Amino acid sequence: MKPYQVLIFIAVVMSLLGVLYKAFPNGQLLHKQPTELSMEVSDNDTIEEFPVFAEAEVEVETDTVIPQEPKVIIPKVAVDSTTDSRVFLQSFYASLAESNHKVVRVLHYGDSQIEEDRMSQQIREALQNKYGGSGVGLLPLAQTIPSRTVKQQLRMNDRWIQPAQGPKRYLVYGPKRDQREDGLYGVMGQVAVMNDSLVKGSEELTAVCTPLDGRKRYTQWRVFADSAIRYSFAGDSVFLSGQGKVYGLSQQSDTGVIVDNIPMRGCLGLVFTKMDREQLVTFYREQNVQLIIMQFGGNAIPSNKNPGTIQGIVKGLRQQVQYLRTCAPQASILFIGPSDMLTQIDGEWQPYPMVPYMDKLLRKMALEENIAYFSLYRWMGGAGSMARWQEIGLAGSDGVHFTRSGARKAGNAVAEWMLEGER
């Protein structure tokens, strides 16, 4: 082509493109515009994976115009409301028949809602009253959160010390500086390292664990530690020496039901896959763990308004359930969902909108994974019920946690629900 012919060709093409642009505004030639955003989730749908994150707070100058926040569309979750998930506890119920001649162990993992042995204590009392057993079960070497059932003290270098002054502790949850890369946390998700090079004098110490609940006392001590740790007992005291890791102590009986309270403050529950598989498999098998209770979800609510984030967290919890099942194939699993929760908006207490959505997703996940599910949210009365609990002294001023009376009521409800399913 000659130069002037090339110019004519380009001009013609540009003119045609201009005509097409006017005929198909907003790019409709290339993309069909959606008429409605659908976020339905049915039982047969696969929930897309979303990154788990907390929404960041952004500082805004006072004269800045803040755009209107779009309305959050909360997906609907279709579940079978007629399903009684206690059908998935049948293996646990069957194991209770052996409690007259061996230990049947129940592990209760949870966030700060179960600190101080709250809720676990009522489940323990109900099961031990019916099937025997004594003692509170597992205890960390150094208890940073006081318990309502056991008073713990640590003595080192001939003086009583605070937990932070004792052996170096590592936790699978919490700040990364307190975590290990090898996953050796033991079944409680924490370990205390007795080593003079870490904390002077930590090669020899005494732990005193005195029961407070006035119930039948334990009949035996157990220590879960490295083979390098030596120990002996006298009354409520255990004397330990050596260089190595202590994964936990246990006050228990040699038969009946043992219920272990394992609180993980601030934890979402997405940590079990970080714990050494061999340690978990060995403990669950040798200690005859027949029920694992997981109580998580509440810590995701205050910092997340995005349904996709909640979906991602529930998917992560599903992975934890699957992992624990491979570690303890003989055990039933019960998931306890979050309670109703409140936040202050313009000085008024309002329920968090994501609680019912997470509750539905968790129940759907539980049914799909063949595990039992107890909805604290529904049992309390649904949205806004936490305000009524505050009024009658069953919930704290933060609108999130139960008071001790409230925790006792909730624990009794879970225990009664469990035992009714056995009939």
Q: Residue 279 corresponds to which amino acid?
A: Q
**Predicted local distance difference test score (pLDDT) of residue 346:** 79
Confidence at residue 63, expressed as pLDDT on a 0 to 100 scale = 35
Burial of 345 (0-12, 13-18, 19+ CB in 10 A): exposed
Rounded CA separation 375/381 (Å): 10
pLDDT of residue 73: 64
pLDDT score, position 144? 86
Which segments of 232-338 does DSSP mark as H helices, in order?
Answer: 277-286, 307-327
3-state secondary structure of 228: coil
Where do the domains of the chain lie, and which CATH numbers do they carry?
74-133+255-423 (3.40.50.1110), 139-253 (no CATH)
Give the distance from CA 46 to its chain's centroid: 23
Q: How far is CA 192 from each of CA 110, 186, 388, rounded to the nearest angstrom?
A: 20, 10, 41
CB 230 within 8 Å of CB 241: yes
Per-residue pLDDT of the chain (423 residues), as tens digits, is: 555 554 555 555 566 555 444 444 444 433 333 333 233 333 333 333 333 333 333 232 333 333 344 455 666 666 676 889 999 999 999 999 999 999 999 999 999 999 999 999 999 999 999 999 999 999 999 888 889 999 999 999 999 999 999 999 999 998 999 999 999 999 999 999 999 999 999 999 999 999 997 777 899 999 999 999 999 999 999 999 999 999 999 999 999 999 999 999 999 999 999 999 999 999 999 999 999 999 999 999 998 889 999 999 999 999 999 999 999 999 999 999 999 999 888 778 899 999 999 999 999 999 999 999 999 999 999 999 999 999 999 999 998 999 999 999 999 999 999 999 987
Residue type, 136: V
pTM of the predicted protein model: 0.82
